[in-house]
Chain A
Amino acid sequence: MGEVNRRDFLSTLGVSVGTALSATAGAALPVVGVAHAQEKPKGNIPDTPFKIGHMTFFSGPAAVLGEPMYRGQLLASEEINAQGGLLGKRKIEVLKADENAGTDANVKELRRLKLSEKIDFFCGITSSGNTPALGPVAEELKLLTIFVDGCTDLLFDKAVPNPHYIFRVTNMQSADGVTAAVAAAQTWPKAKKIAHIHPDYSYGRNAFDHWTITFKKLMPQAENVSEGWPKLGTTDFSSHITKAIASKPDLLATSVWGGDYVAFYKQALRYGMFSKMKVASMIAFGVAPHAIGKDHPEGIIAGVHSNYHFTYPAGDRWPYNKTFVEKYNKRFNEYPNFQAEGGYTATYLLKSAIERANKLAGGWPEDDAIIAMLEGLMMAAPAGYVYIRPDNHQGYKDAVTGFSKNVAEYPFPVLDPDRIITIPIRNITAPPGWPKGEPTSTYTWIDKTWPKVKA
């Protein structure tokens, strides 16, 4: 590999900044949108309710990030039921379960939902600590599942390397660390000293690893000068903030999320942290938008888990988003986060797969037929095109992040509409067939295939 200039390499990655809608190769594939008109189903369809078990955080600091995925699924279900239900007959019933109960209790609850409540489909999950435990159990129970989040690469790299019943709709976790790092490298190319604060569990470790490998390639002059690993769910960051400031970094990278992030930024403000360094976060604006106050500093990279912010794609250019945001706001009197979009899209992916399977064979399709239709499905969702890769059952959509900004239209900060950053997902994730790697396939793929740019 010859020497490459940073700016040239970023442009080969297709990183675009601004209001333009990024182009995707997907337009050639057969694409259906959410909420499209339904053809008349073939054959006899039973009218028994279709039961969905939905597990996410309904309590605790994680609820401000996780609970909206339930609302997204509820909204989609209500829309589908208003048209008579799935295939015009089966009304959707959504049963709630609180992910805050802890991983062991969640596994038991999943079994109970399948064995006692006889759910047809399982959905939800926020934490990366939970999908690697629940995934194998869903496979064992032969329970059709679309995880909305819990997006650790570990799930399909190691825990369930050959998934049959389980899928996942939001972007893979490694994309998050890479997106934040690419955005930071493009925005602050002169940064040398990097401090880190990440929650000490699989998500935080993953964000740190992928940021670091990306910076090794894009910012060879930079080094990590400080690390802080607070416990997930902690609301006291005094010491981590002091340590980061004391290391006098140019840039802080952080993947603290949910209610933890709200406490973090409020504390960091009083320690004067934001005036001493640039800040790039993977997931600051992943929470329900109203959870962040107008006191939040402007101009930081305020990630949305590389998935979705309700202000993008904006206006009439992508009606799927406009109508979704309007309906969600009307129904719940708040704005959706990326989880709400994930829950909504997961429901419509399921609906689309069921309809395709029905068109081929008639009647209510077997799970295997639905699975075959989900594999390789591409759909126009509020966030853009989402593609379910057949080999690993993982959803892929172009990554998005941006800069925090207060605007007059909303009582909370949003992503600066003039500086949205998008990256085609194929350029930042390992392709199909890439060998499973350590710590993740994307990590080894970046390490082996990306050039190191000239400093």
Chain B
Amino acid sequence: MDFLLIHLLNSLLFASVLFLTAGGLSLIYGVMRIVNLAHGNLYAFGAYVTAWAIGGVLAGAPTPLLYLLLPAGAVAAALLGAALEPTLLRPFYKRAEEYQLLVTFGLLMILEDLMRLLWGPYPLSASALWENSGSVTISGNPYPNYNLVVIAIGLVAAVFLWAFVYKTKFGVVLRATSQDMRMASALGIDVNRVYVQAFTLGCFMAGLGGAMIVPRDSAVLGMGVDALVLAFIVVVIGGLGSLEGALAGALIVGVVRELGITFFAEIELAVLYLIAVLVLLARPAGLFGRP
């Protein structure tokens, strides 16, 4: 029982990062009806930028300053998203979905090579933040403080996002466009602007997920694809296009993964897919999806 709280915190930690990546993927799909296969690499891009900033450029700076720079990766991913949507994605909205999949898949590969070109083939680490943050004692066992920071950022991001989508005028416009793009357009909403804003926000979330995790994990090539697969499991469970679904899916996956590792070590990798299969059988559109 000593470890119940630690297991719970581990689950929340995993869920926090998952929610940010899967939430971004879902938001973009909800508004623009695009399955962005390059989404995982925007997460990786955020991780690389933050690792580069706090592990390379400002290595040795005091810890509070490093914390301030943590979101650098999120901002960079958002800027990249803001540039990509109008140039690369917009010409393909009127085409069949296959084209969008091909374009975003191509983007996935280009981004992977771009990161290799910019930051080299080796893992890029920013572990000072992880190492300097120390541990707190939870029922006699040390627990890394940095994990608590990540969980807190995840919670704040979820609340902020909910307020943004449900309590602001921009949120109303976003939801209106999501429900009926033609009608929104007829009512005078600048759909192109909403699209670029939604895409930028989605990329910001992915980049933030990568930036938060990099002090613990270091940035490595291929991390984007792994994150994409996990994000897909979350949105399959929660329902593609739904932020509530992404939150519920992330929490379910976080808890199930922890239970899987603890009690079914032999099939750790399979457990998440089994959950997704069960949800698909019971509710093909996901828990919060619109059938």
Q: Which residues of A contact B (CB under 8 A)?
A: 58-61, 63-64, 100, 200, 226-231, 233, 235-236, 238-240, 242-243, 245-246, 259, 262-263, 266-267, 269-272, 295
Contacts and interface: CB of A to CB of B under 8 A. Distances in A.
B266 A229 contact: yes
A272 B144 CA distance: 9
B96 to A, nearest CB: 29
B146 A229 contact: no
Contacts of A267: 130, 144, 216
Given A59-B122, A229-B266, A295 B221 contact: no
Interface in B245-289: 257-258, 261-262, 265-266, 268-269
Contact of A238 (B10, B142, B218): B10
Contact of A59 (B7, B127, B221, B223): B221
A200 B270 CA distance: 12
30 contacts: A59-B122, A59-B221, A60-B121, A200-B268, A227-B266, A228-B265, A229-B269, A230-B268, A235-B123, A235-B216, A236-B14, A236-B213, A238-B13, A238-B14, A238-B147, A239-B10, A242-B262, A245-B3, A245-B141, A246-B2, A259-B123, A262-B123, A263-B217, A266-B131, A267-B216, A270-B130, A270-B142, A271-B141, A272-B142, A295-B131
B116 interface: yes
Interface residues of B, number: 40
A200 B216 CA distance: 21
Nearest to A59: B121
Contacts of A245: 3, 141
B56 interface: no
B3 A266 contact: no
Contacts of A266: 127, 130-131, 216
A357 B279 CA distance: 65
Contact of B265 (A59, A229, A235, A269): A229
Contacts of A262: 123, 125, 218
A229 B147 CA distance: 22
B222 interface: yes
A243 B261 CA distance: 8
Contact of B142 (A228, A263, A271): A271
Interface of B: 2-3, 6-7, 10, 13-14, 116, 121-123, 125, 127, 130-131, 134-135, 141-144, 146-147, 213, 216-218, 220-223, 226, 257-258, 261-262, 265-266, 268-269
B135 A270 contact: yes
A229 B116 CA distance: 29
A270 B144 contact: yes
B44 to A, nearest CB: 12
A85 B222 CA distance: 39
Contacts of A270: 130-131, 134-135, 142, 144, 146
A242 B144 contact: no
B134 to A, nearest CB: 8
Nearest to B269: A231
Nearest to A241: B10
A240 B216 contact: no
A263 B144 CA distance: 14
Nearest to B1: A246
Given A246-B6, A270-B131, A271-B143, 14 more contacts: A60-B121, A100-B221, A200-B269, A231-B269, A233-B222, A235-B223, A236-B14, A236-B217, A245-B3, A246-B2, A266-B127, A266-B131, A267-B144, A271-B144
Nearest to A236: B217
Contact of B141 (A229, A235, A269, A272): A272
Contacts of B121: 58-60, 63
B284 to A, nearest CB: 28
8 pairs of A and B residues whose beta carbons are closest in the complex: A59-B121, A272-B142, A270-B144, A235-B217, A246-B3, A239-B261, A227-B265, A259-B123
Contacts of B220: 60-61, 233, 235, 259
A242 B10 contact: yes
A242 B12 CA distance: 14
Contacts of B123: 60-61, 64, 235, 259, 262
B259 to A, nearest CB: 9
B265 A60 contact: no
A52 B124 CA distance: 30
B257 A239 contact: yes
B250 to A, nearest CB: 15
B33 to A, nearest CB: 31
A212 to B, nearest CB: 14
Nearest to B6: A242
B17 to A, nearest CB: 9
Most chain B C-beta atoms within 10 Å of own C-beta, residue among A59, A235, A272: A235
A59 B262 contact: no
A263 B146 CA distance: 15
B180 to A, nearest CB: 40
A168 B3 CA distance: 45
A270 B145 CA distance: 9
Contact of A229 (B2, B131, B268): B268
B135 A272 contact: yes
A246 B7 CA distance: 10
Nearest to A275: B142
Contacts of B2: 246
